[in-house]
Amino acid sequence: MSSCELSRVVITGCGIVSALGMSREKLYQSLLVGNSAVRVMTEWKLRGATGELLAAPVEVSRERLLSLDRKLRRSMAPVAIFAALAAGNAIAESGLSAEDLAACEAGCAIGSTLGSPSAIFETMLLFDKNGLESLPSQQFFKSVSHTAAFNVANAYGLNGALLAPCSACASGLQSIGLAYDEIRLGRQTIMLAGGADEATPAVAGTFEQLFALAHPASGQAAEAAIRPFDAERCGLACGEGAGIFVLEERNHALRRGARILAEIRGYATNASGRQTSQSDAGAIERCLRSGLREAGLQPEDIHYINAHATGTRQGDAAEAVALRNVFGAGVPVSSLKAQLGHTMGASGALEMAVVLEMSRNRLLLPTANLENPDEACAGLDLLRQPRRTSLKYFIKDCFAFGGINAVLVGEVPSDNEG
């Protein structure tokens, strides 16, 4: 490859861990029939909370947990466990063997919001109560911001680039973008990429302090409280899980006869440069246009947008303004967070995995609980019912505290290129 050529980057495997299924097929079907993982966390006790805390927790079976090597589990908190399980499923689908991964430049880029908030909190409690001597030797490795990334690398023998964006709710999508750049620039042949995150009382409490956590209205079920784009939306619920993709240089994938699930056509990320906790419509719009420009596409080429839309008043409105300015009402838009919760650093990858299933089934999923679209979100083709359609070009976007925006443009092949 000459210095001016860029490699094409494809997805050949995808694994997930979610509150509504441990495969993207099961997750998709669960979303399709209207299931929701959001519930009242009666087991969470948080001093100062103004009401019941909602979340969408993941339950990992003992069988799945024991599938991970015991020596590796010693350094794994839930965030790393989620990532390692999802990565294993992604590798299996890709058809790559351990020998394949060892024979080329293969690395990973896996992001999260904090590393493991549960391990960090546990460390603080142990240290405060009993001092340094009480800390297990592996506690640091469970806590660090790159715990998911290095544990996945160790679990699957990856000795290439190891990257771990820690950029709140944009972490997973930024990880995919960084992996895409590593491959198209010729530095790596294969990258495991995506995000993982945990829902904990402390994380939920942060959103509570920012007036962004949803609480059910009187007589309202927990699963009806999260309402992206709706006039009655009142906030989000924390979710957790992981989404991991196998990204691969296209020619390498074709030579080994791999099935191509999608191709990454463009990626962009930017900052508002002026916001801490509020989304900025202008910065989001610039990011969307940059992603389209890199992909060589026009707004009218896009067939579907999987929105970040968490259910907060300001965030959904800012995103809607940006989407309207770029796409008008010409592209179907929906959010999955009413059912999955906001899986934070995992959300970009986990939700993009569902988009691949939408394409395979030729059926777009709507935004659950969207009954009365807010005027501030008008001018978009907001999906309120499943829609039968072919999907080729799609956009997944994510926005995060600190004014961080990320946009990925993907193409799903019309037939199997493998």
* Active-site residue list: 169, 308, 342
Tell me the Ramachandran region of residue 341: left when phi exceeds 0, alpha when psi lies from -120 to 50, beta otherwise.
left
Nearest to 377 by CA among 329, 334, 415, 320: 320
Residue count (the chain):
418
Q: What distance in Å separates the CA atoms of residue 155 and residue 132, rounded to the nearest whole number?
A: 29
CB atoms within 10 A of CB 273: 8
Q: What distance in Å separates the CA atoms of residue 326 and residue 409, rounded to the nearest whole number?
A: 14
Rounded (10°) CA dihedral 98, 101, 107, 113? -40
Q: Let me know: does 334 contact 361? Beta carbons within 8 Å.
A: no
DSSP string of 21-84, one letter each residue:
BSSHHHHHHHHHTT----EE-TT---TT-SSPPEEE-----HHHHHTS-HHHHTT--HHHHHHH
Tokens, residue 74: 């010693």
Nearest to 13 by CA among 132, 71, 100, 74: 100
Q: Let me know: does 291 contact 409? Beta carbons within 8 Å.
A: yes
Burial 375-390 (b: 16+ CB within 10 A, else e): eebebbbbbeeebeee
Q: What distance in Å separates the CA atoms of residue 347 and residue 301, rounded to the nearest whole number?
A: 24
* Secondary structure element (H or E) that encloses residue 179, with its range: helix 171-184
